[in-house]
Amino acid sequence: MDDPIELRIPVEPISLHAQVDLLDGPIQDTTNSSNSNSEERFNVLELPPVDEGSKAWLFCASACALETFIWGWNNSYGIFQEFYSTHTPFESSSLVSISAIGTASLAIQYIEIIAVIAVCQRYPEKVKPAMWIALLICVTTLIISSFASQVWQLILLQGIIFGLAAGVLYAPIIMWLSEWFVRRRGLAGGIIFGGAGVGGFVFPLAIGACLDNIGFRWTMRIWAVILGLSCSLALFGSNPRVPVQRLGTNRPKSLWPAGMTEFVKNPLLLWMLVTNIFQALGFFPVSIFISTYTSALTTTTLSPTVVLALFNASSVVCYVLFGRICDSYPYAAVILCSGLGSALGAFFLWGFATNLPLIFAFALVFGGLSGGFPGIWPAAATEIAGSRNEHTSLAFGAFGVAKGIAAIVGPIIAASLHDKNKYGPEKYGAYGFLKVEIFVGMCIIYN
């Protein structure tokens, strides 16, 4: 076990760059000899060890809980989409406008990550208050949305405002992950990201039951309270490893750290961005429309909920597995296996899925191999950042931007490719989803 790092730090505020240097070891005392002899001007600070210890794993568990309630909610939107399209007062709206609710929330949260991280790195003392304010906005927005009577109100409340606030609530977790974990960053990231799959498994079942029994409005109100209480507890354990010092005259003049030109021009970053875009272009249409497809396949109202739950649950295993593998082996091999396996699942399991067993199998295979893809992000971000630890978080943010763009474009393309005039269970590409299945498979196989 690593011994705690003992640091002797001046009482005066230290710069952001000095705080970053604390991640990997002690700061050298650069004060003059007369000052160094004045013990009253120094405090002794012990940092908890990286990769191990109760505080590191408390952060991991708390971050996983935030992931569960924020991204697990996003992964459950298919249940709301199915409900909105079949119940008053929203059933007369188009499928495109209804799907825009969840799409807007997802896309905004992904795209804003890099900007939020940049601001957090410059104003670290503002991060925790901002997270509490963002949580309050999320809860308030969901409660207000329970009174909505038109789809545009849901797009504004559940989509845009909730997405903006949830992104601020979650983004600091990405930044602090790089502080708490180095050698086990892939494993820790996989556990944290796996929370989205856990929430995506549990919430569709619970929310679906609530929608059927108490309706949309009380479901939203109850969920808002649960979200507020659960995320409040998680916030108490979600803290940076390096104590926040108030920045004085040494505050960085720019939001972006040094070396951004090399970072942006890094060929590996560009390749990963393209890979994430194509992977997400194939993933999001499935995550949104798999419930709709299952509803056309069967008259059982429970089946769409179960399929979506299995789709999300299978990603949990691959999140952790991919992260753990990437800690020890090249992540390019994981990308290859994820892309090839997901493409085969789309072409064959979904293509020939004219019964529930096949759609269940597709949900497990595609949901795991494609849904767990972000498990490779910690390894890729670490390699891109190199010796600049602050670039690791920005690489995560860049991946999020790529995925957010695809979260908007992918479902729109899929909706335009869906042939609503075909309702029959054809031998291949049933219920008008032939072109959608080909599109998904071709995007995913790019990996």
b (16+ CB within 10 A) / e for 262-290? ebeebeebeebbebbbbbbbbbbbbbbbb
Residue found by looking up tokens 């999320």 in the block: 138
Alpha-helical segments (H) within 161-266: 162-180, 185-237, 260-265
How far apart CA 106 and CA 408 sit, in angstroms, is 8
Task: Give the other-Cβ count within 10 Å of 191's Cβ.
Answer: 23
Q: Are 350 and 437 in contact (CB under 8 A)?
A: yes
Residue found by looking up tokens 């089946």 in the block: 303
pLDDT at 385: 85
Q: How sure is the predictor about 79, in pLDDT bands with cuts at 50, 70 and 90?
A: confident
How far apart CA 84 and CA 101 sit, in angstroms, is 10
Tokens linked to 167:
């992104």
Give me the chain's average pLDDT, please.
Answer: 84
b (16+ CB within 10 A) / e for 208-226? bebbeeeebeebbbbbbee
Q: Which one of 34-48, 101-115, 338-352 scores highest in mean pLDDT?
A: 338-352
Q: Percentage of residues in the chain with pLDDT exceeding 90? A: 47
Residue 371 CB-half CA count within 13 A? 35
Q: How sure is the predictor about 369, in pLDDT bands with cuts at 50, 70 and 90?
A: very high
Q: Which of 55-59, 81-85, 101-105 has the lowest mean pLDDT?
A: 81-85
The CA dihedral of 159, 162, 168, 171, to the nearest 10 degrees, is: -60
Q: Where, residue-wise, is CATH 1.20.1250.20 in the chain?
A: 54-445
Rounded to 10 deg, the angle between the 434-445 and 267-297 helix axes is 150
54-445, what's its fold? Answer: Growth Hormone; Chain: A; (1.20.1250)
Q: Answer whether residue 26 shows pLDDT above 50.
A: no
pLDDT at 259: 67
The mean pLDDT of 411-440, rounded to a whole number, is: 87
The mean pLDDT of 286-315, rounded to a whole number, is: 84
Is the dihedral angle over the CA atoms 319, 323, 324, 326 positive or is it negative?
positive
Q: Give the residue from 162, 223, 192 showing the smallest Cα distance to 56.
A: 192
Q: What is the pLDDT of residues 253-266, one digit of tens each?
A: 566 666 677 788 89
How far apart CA 234 and CA 70 sit, in angstroms, is 12
Tokens linked to 191:
């556990």
Kindly list the distances between the CA atom of residue 40 and the CA atoms of 9, 29, 36, 353, in Å, as whole numbers in the listed order: 11, 15, 10, 73
How far apart CA 403 and CA 157 sit, in angstroms, is 22
Q: Name the residue with higher pLDDT: 298 or 444.
A: 444
How far apart CA 308 and CA 313 sit, in angstroms, is 9
Q: What is the pLDDT of residues 180-225, one digit of tens each?
A: 998 888 889 889 988 988 998 899 889 989 998 999 999 999 999 9
| String of DSSP letters for 145-183 | HTT--SHHHHIIIIIIIHHHHHHHHHHHHHHHHHHH-ST
Q: Answer whether residue 156 shows pLDDT above 90.
A: yes
Q: What is the Cα gyration radius of the chain?
A: 23
Contacts of 78 (CB under 8 A, 6+ apart): 102, 204, 287, 288, 289, 290, 291, 292, 304, 308
ω before 257 within 30° of 0 (cis)?
A: no
pLDDT at 33: 42
Length in residues, the chain: 447
Q: Which one of 34-38, 257-261, 270-274 scores highest in mean pLDDT?
A: 270-274
Query: Given phi > 0 = left and psi -120 to 50 = alpha, else beta, which region is 25?
Result: left
Q: Are 447 and 279 in contact (CB under 8 A)?
A: yes
